[in-house]
């Protein structure tokens, strides 16, 4: 951005529902959505003027609240359910590859090395992953 004091819109894209959080990895944007269409959408932002929804992952009956993305994996904090790991390595076909079920209202997730920090109304949970390829959780 040449002038940070004057941002302007270059493109837009409709999502299925309210977006609570986003994560960006390379040319992909991941949305955490809730309030009816509880899902994660994968959007190509390779052309910022014309972003394109490539696929989605349904989170069940609970809202996707927070999201992080690394190595084509989306780490999704799902309200009243837990943390889910969704593989988007094939952008048009998402696959759930792991989960940590927890009670309470899960609000957000953050990653640091092999530790995952899940926060919600029952406090902070620190999760460590087994093995080099992430899930399953310890």
Q: Which of 63, 54, 57 is nearest to 13 (CA)?
A: 54
Enter the tokens of residue 72: 């084509």
Looking at per-residue pLDDT, the higher value among 86 and 131 belongs to: 86
Task: Give first-to-last CA distance, the chain, whole Å.
Answer: 42
The reported pTM is 0.88
Q: What is the pLDDT of residues 23-46, one digit of tens each?
A: 999 999 999 998 777 889 999 999
Integer CA distances (angstroms), 29 to 15, 23, 102, 114, 132, in order: 12, 6, 26, 22, 24
Q: Is the per-residue pLDDT at 86 higher than 80?
A: yes
Q: Which of 10, 89, 82, 84 is nearest to 55 (CA)?
A: 89
Q: What is the pLDDT of residues 54-73, one digit of tens each?
A: 999 988 878 889 999 999 99
The residues pairing with 33 across neighbouring beta strands, listed in sequence order, are: 19, 39
Q: What is the pLDDT of residues 107-138, one digit of tens each?
A: 999 999 888 899 999 899 998 876 544 455 54
pLDDT at residue 25, as a whole number:
97
Q: How far apart are CA 130 and CA 138, in angstroms?
A: 6
């Amino acid at each position: 951005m040449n002038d940070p004091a004057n941002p302007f819109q270059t493109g837009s894209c409709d999502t299925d529902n309210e977006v609570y959080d986003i994560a960006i990895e390379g040319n992909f944007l991941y949305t955490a959505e809730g309030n009816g269409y509880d899902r994660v959408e994968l959007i190509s932002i390779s052309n910022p003027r014309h972003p394109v929804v490539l696929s989605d992952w349904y989170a069940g009956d609970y809202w996707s609240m927070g999201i992080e993305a690394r190595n084509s994996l989306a780490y999704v904090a799902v309200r009243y359910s837990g943390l889910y790991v969704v593989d988007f390595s094939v952008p048009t076909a998402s696959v759930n590859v792991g989960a940590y079920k927890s009670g309470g209202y899960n609000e957000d997730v953050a990653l640091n090395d092999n530790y995952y920090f899940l926060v919600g109304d029952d406090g902070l949970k620190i999760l460590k992953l087994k093995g080099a390829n992430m899930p399953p959780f310890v």
